């Protein structure tokens, strides 16, 4: 128990540090970008943005009818005291604790066939990547390194996972072949690279990096080559996810006073703001049909998991808990 509380304290401190880092880089980019000396931030196991203060009165939004929604969403929550991985099923509205472990279990992500979930746990001493069946059993450890291995995501063919590790001193993106267990480093620089997301065809990976002082989105090939910058704004652009049709990128940006969700069209170059909640609205993930996003937001006070219908802007709260619910992921 003491170990768990110590780790949770570290998580809170890292989140606060990450927020300060983003705010400082955003403020300084416009005036110092030409001459600034970029200093890489300290690597962190649980990197994210700290929540902004919510508005005094929650914004009234149209409610999404659960009828017609299908599949399942996994997310992390501390509703039972420690962070566990939960499964929400649209078919019957049930919520199941999948990880059921005394240590921290976070960052869940689905296999392409929906049969497996990769996640991060410190159950063996430090953050490592594990895989379990979608029912929560058959837990298998995938990484074994003194560093922190986090944010795993399956490739579309299910044969490998991309993940983030600080094993070379800063946050880099790596690729693991699940059959051979061979690990290849995809990024190699002195900056913080994170939140990898695959293109639907499995040929490219989009991710966030602060190589341009502030956080921007970049695309690279699955081999770590052919680097292409996607966003270019003084704000922090983070947490990307590729749409199922391969044409759009959902991401979070601080272009306003708050963290909001945007969608960038790769074909037309157009950018659409999808939320205006005046709060921390984070970690957008696409539904399989591309009509919805699931995300976390504290716009009503604490972080909850929501589903957003893109055409109408209506939302549905699927977690409904005083706990911190975070990092949702929809079945493929």
Torsion of CA 11, 14, 16, 20, to 10 degrees: -160
Q: What is the arithmetic mean of pLDDT over 104-122?
A: 97
pLDDT of residue 57: 52
| CB-based burial label for 328 (10 Å; 0-12, 13-18, 19+) | buried
- Report pTM: 0.85
pLDDT of 230-256, one tens digit each? 999 999 999 999 999 999 999 999 999
* Counted domains in the chain: 1
In our burial notation (b when 16+ CB lie closer than 10 A, e otherwise), range 61-89 reads beebeeeebebbbbbbbbbeebbbbbbbe
pLDDT of residue 248: 98
For residue 121, list its beta bridge partners.
105, 128
Nearest one of 90, 69, 59 to 279, comparing CA atoms: 59
Residue pair 173/166 in contact (Cβ under 8 Å)? The answer is no
pLDDT band per the 50, 70, 90 thresholds, residue 59: low
Least reliable range by pLDDT among 106-110, 203-207, 233-237, 278-282: 278-282
The CA distance from 283 to 331, in Å, is: 15
The residue among 35 and 175 whose pLDDT is bigger is 175
Q: Is the pLDDT of residue 37 over 80?
A: no
pLDDT of 301-325, one tens digit each? 889 999 999 999 999 999 999 999 9
Q: Is the pLDDT of residue 14 over 50?
A: no
Q: Is the pLDDT of residue 30 over 70?
A: no
Q: Is the pLDDT of residue 208 over 50?
A: yes
In our burial notation (b when 16+ CB lie closer than 10 A, e otherwise), range 148-181 reads bbbbbbbbbebebbbbbbbbeebbbbbbbebeee
pLDDT of residue 46: 44
List all residues 6 or more positions away from 113 whose beta carbon is below 8 Å from its beta carbon.
158, 332
Residue 215, domain CATH: 2.120.10.30
Least reliable range by pLDDT among 16-20, 43-47, 67-71, 132-136: 16-20
List all residues 6 or more positions away from 74 whose beta carbon is below 8 Å from its beta carbon.
85, 86, 87, 88, 98, 108, 109, 110, 117, 328, 329
pLDDT band per the 50, 70, 90 thresholds, residue 22: very low
Domain enclosing residue 26, as ranges: 2-330
């Amino acid at each position: 128990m003491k170990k768990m509380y110590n780790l949770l304290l570290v998580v809170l401190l890292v989140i606060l540090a990450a927020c300060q880092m983003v705010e400082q880089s955003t403020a300084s980019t416009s005036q110092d970008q030409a001459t600034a000396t970029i200093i890489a931030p300290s690597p962190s196991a649980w990197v994210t943005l700290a929540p902004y203060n919510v508005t005094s009165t929650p914004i009234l939004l149209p409610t999404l009818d659960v009828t017609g929604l299908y599949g399942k969403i996994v997310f992390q929550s501390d509703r039972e005291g420690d962070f566990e991985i939960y499964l929400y099923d649209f078919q019957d509205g049930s919520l199941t604790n999948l990880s059921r472990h005394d240590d921290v279990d976070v960052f869940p992500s689905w296999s392409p066939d929906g049969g497996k979930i990769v996640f991060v746990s410190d159950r063996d001493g430090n953050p490592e990547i594990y895989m379990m069946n979608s029912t929560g059993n058959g837990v298998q450890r995938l990484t074994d390194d003194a560093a922190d291995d986090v944010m795993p995501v399956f490739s579309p063919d299910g044969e490998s996972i991309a993940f983030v590790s600080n094993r070379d001193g800063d946050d880099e993106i790596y690729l693991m072949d699940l059959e051979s267990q061979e690990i290849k480093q995809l990024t190699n620089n002195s900056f913080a690279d994170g939140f990898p997301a695959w293109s639907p065809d499995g040929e490219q990976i989009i991710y966030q990096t602060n190589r341009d002082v502030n956080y921007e989105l970049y695309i690279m090939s699955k081999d770590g080559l052919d680097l292409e910058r996607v966003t270019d704004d003084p704000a922090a652009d983070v947490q990307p996810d590729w749409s199922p049709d391969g044409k759009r990128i959902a991401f979070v940006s601080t272009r306003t006073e708050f963290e909001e969700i945007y969608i960038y069209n790769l074909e037309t170059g157009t950018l659409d703001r999808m939320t205006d909640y005046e709060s921390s609205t984070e970690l957008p993930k696409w539904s399989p049909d591309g009509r919805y996003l699931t995300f976390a937001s504290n716009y009503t006070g604490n972080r909850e998991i929501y589903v957003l219908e893109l055409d109408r802007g209506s939302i549905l709260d699927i977690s409904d808990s005083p706990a911190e619910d975070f990092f949702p992921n929809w079945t493929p």
